[in-house]
Each structure stands twice: as structure tokens, then as C-alpha cells.
Amino acid sequence: MAAPYAAMVMDARNGEVIHTSNADTRLHPASLTKMMTLYIVFEAVQNGEISMDTKVQISKKAASEPPSKLGLRAGSTIQLRYLVRAAAVKSANDAATALAEAISGSEAAFARRMNRTAKALGMGRTTFKNAHGLTESGHMSTARDMTILGRHVLYDYPQYYNLFSRRSTDAGIKTVAHTNRRFLDSYRGADGIKTGYTRAAGFNLTATAERGGERIIVTVFGGNSTASRNAQVAKLMDLGFNKAPARMALRTPRKPPYLGPDTSTATETVIANSQTPSTQTRAKSIRVVAAAVKTSLRPTARPVAQPILPDVLVAELKNDIQSVLAEVQTEEVQEVAATAAQVALATAAPATAPASLAPSLKTAPSASVKPVGRPRTLVLASATTRQVAPAEPVQAREAEVVTRISTSGGRHWGINVGRFPSRYAAEKALLKTALAEMATLDGSLRKVVNGARGFDANFMGLSRESADLACRRLQARQVTCFMIGPS
């Protein structure tokens, strides 16, 4: 009897669903499971839990996994990077189990971490029981959830994504070939991700392809053979490219917060491994004590910041923007009022010595003073020239020269990091840039300006030097940036 069929087609650029068929039906994912195994390995490496150079000792359990396998021997050691390559390219079950044990100590503990991560990614109908995907009761997922996972693998850890397009790779003890090389070679633009097969699951595949800036993700469950599955995926890929718009603003998925290893599980594992026949009676008491120590003997770790809900984020950004606008408008009114006061003094007493203007610059203008137009005969000079020519009769002069403190050295500069189709996109870009470049943008103000062609994302309140430095650093990160002068 053929395995149940399910499929989903998604525009990878923004996550829009183009086509579904039984996409929420819980089915056996087979080796599509290894996408989650590898996702957690990438997360652990990035957060310093383990290194790609770490040498992993192979357990009897890992070595005894059925094919497809790399052929690891119990007791041998191999670098983590080779296990990653074997799991991604050859879909080796022994490599996947070895990765799980290296990260969490046991495959059962790793499966619990897989489920926590799946929940954080929004995979609401997925339950993992192992790291390789071999058929096991309760080990289920859906075409929708696997498509979501594939998109996160692509965008959350792009530095490792090239693994999934390698036709072959060095796995340490041998060179292995890609299980998906037929589709990679036959479909233009295809570059991943993962195949899967068991008798209960049928022939599964989550694949991506990119053409001319468009990227489509397709997941198929329940194919009858490799050839028929690949043909169906190619058909759905064509459907996706035909329906997806040529131009689409990239909206990458929100990367979930780092949850880290399950420390309580690690404690219980250590206790269980330390038991001997003579101490089995006392083991339960030790577990109870360990649970108590976990919360009372030492201070708890600083909590990880939880993700901000989109509505809250928008509200916070709007408040920031309103405060920035209010400050800028207040500064403009004060500057115009100060200029008006100087003009009044210059017009009323043209023969007064220039030194008499100094006190007026320090006097705060009244809040009731209304802005006035700048007279055509008024010439503003930089404060770098403090000297003013001796007083002359009013009739003999064509223009009155008034000194004003220069703003070139103040925090009146800004930078622009792009123009976006919506205010929300501009605000999101400002937050992302501020977090990436805190050293140079600290103390600056985020400001979104609505123009005729879109929403400009600006950082204001910088000195010229800090604006120039910030731009150069952002451009080095391939971020568009140009300076905004005090005008």
C-alpha cells in the first residue's frame, strides 16, 4: 500500500504559501528529520557548546544503526565536521545518532531538544523521537512543518547551507555521494535540501531552487519512487516559479531565541550512569536532592530575553519615532527663534559692538516667539570668524553680518540605511542595524521619513566623524549607507 501523499509549495523570500495538499496531515518524515538534527548542531556550534573540530567517540548504539550509514566503528573517534557532512549529504543514520549523543549525551535527550526547537520554530504538528528519522511510534511531522524547517535552515545558518548542494564530500573515513544528486543535476537552480525514505513514509523530499532572485521551497511526502517523487517536485517547483511575483521584498523568518541544552536532563543522565547495584536503592533520593539543589544551592542563570511580539515591537518603534520627531521639531523651533532674536538685535542697533550679541546667544528664547522668515540681506557667518568689521552707517552697508555658532562639530549628522516599501520594514531595518553596530550608533536616534518613493530609515544625532565611521563599517557588512548632513 502506497504511503499517504502530502505536499506544500512556498515562496522562500517571504514565506507565502503557493500550493498545499494534505499539508497538515501528520505523516512519517523519514530522513527529513536530519534537517532538525543538523539545525541543532549548527546552533550548538554557533553558541560555543561544541566545535566542528571536536572529536566525537562513537558509541555502540550509533555504530549499530541500520543503513544508510557511514560505517562508523564503536570506540572510534571522528571530527564533528565529518559527521555533519555524512548526515547532510549521505543521510547517514550512524552519523546522526553520533551527533545527537555528542550534543546532548543521549539520543533521547537530544530528541527532547529537537521538540523544544520545533515548538520555537512554529512546527506545531511535529513530534521527534530520534535523530535520524527511522520509523518509530509517535515520530511524526507534516509537509507544512518540514517546509518551515527547511526555510529556517536556509536563512538562519546560511554559512552551512552549501553542504546540501554538494554532489559528494569527504566524510573523514570515505568520500560519500549526495542522495539527492539526480534532482540537483536535473532541475535548474536546485541547491538542496534533504531526501528521506522508509517503507512507512514513502519517498520524501524537501527541495529548494533559485532562479533570477526568486526562490521556491517544495516538500513532498509519500512518493512512489525516487523518479516519480523528483518529477512531482519539479512540477511543483515550476508551479511555484510561475505563480511567485518576480520582485518581492525579502522577509527572512525570525530566528528563535537560543534555548541551549536541557541542563536538568544532563543532571539525571550523570546520576543514572553513576549508579551501581549496591547503590540502586539510594538512587531515587539522589535525584530528589539534585532537583532541589538546582534551584537553591546556586544562583540561577540570567534569563534569556524572550522574543518581542510584533504588536509590541511596532508600538515601541512608534513611540520612539514620535519622541524623535518631537525632539527634532523642538530643536528647529528653538534655532529659528534664536535666529529671529539675533536679527532683531542687529536691526535695532546696527552700530552696537559685536560683543553685545554674545549674551543674546546664551539667552533661551521665549516659548511664545513665533518663527519668522530669514531676511534676504542677512548673511550668516561661521563661528570660526569671531571678528566683525567696525560699525558703519546703515546706509553704507548692503548686508548685516551676524555670527552663529557652527554646527559642524556637533551631533547634527545622520546616516541613511535604505528606503523601504513600508514603515514597519524601515523600523525593522533600523533595529537590526542598531543591534549589529551598537559601538558606533549608540546614542543615535532612529527616524523613519515617509517620502514620495518610500520610507527612509535614518539614524540621527551623530557627529560627522561617528556618521562617517558608522557608514564605513556598515558598508563593510554589505549594508547600503550614506551620510546625511546637518542641513
CA distance 458 to 328: 13
SS3 label, residue 94: helix
Question: Scanning the structure block, which residue is given the C-alpha cell 546664551?
Answer: 362
Would you state the cell numbers that stand for residue 377, as one nine-digit string?
540681506
Under 8 Å CB-to-CB from 79, ≥6 apart: which residues? Answer: 52, 53, 54, 55, 56, 172
Nearest partner of 219 among 152, 148, 143, judged by Cα: 143
Residue 289 has a CB neighbour count (10 Å cut-off) of 12
Q: How large is the C-alpha radius of gyration of the chain?
A: 32
Question: Which positions are catalytic?
Answer: 31, 34, 91
Q: Backbone phi, then psi, for 113, in 5-degree steps?
A: -65, -40
Would you state the cell numbers that stand for residue 156, as one nine-digit string?
538562519
Give the sign of the dihedral formed by CA 471, CA 472, CA 474, CA 479: positive
DSSP 337: H
207 touches 218 (CB < 8 A)? yes
Burial of 355 (0-12, 13-18, 19+ CB in 10 A): exposed
Nearest partner of 167 among 155, 183, 153, 152, judged by Cα: 183
Q: Helices then strands (H, E): number in the chain?
A: 15, 15
351 vs 318, 394, 399, 437, 478, CA distance in Å?
Answer: 50, 8, 13, 52, 57
211 touches 139 (CB < 8 A)? no
96 touches 87 (CB < 8 A)? yes
DSSP 406: -
Give the sign of the dihedral formed by CA 85, CA 89, CA 95, CA 99: positive
136 touches 129 (CB < 8 A)? yes
Q: Which helix (H) or strand (E) holds 96?
A: helix 93-104
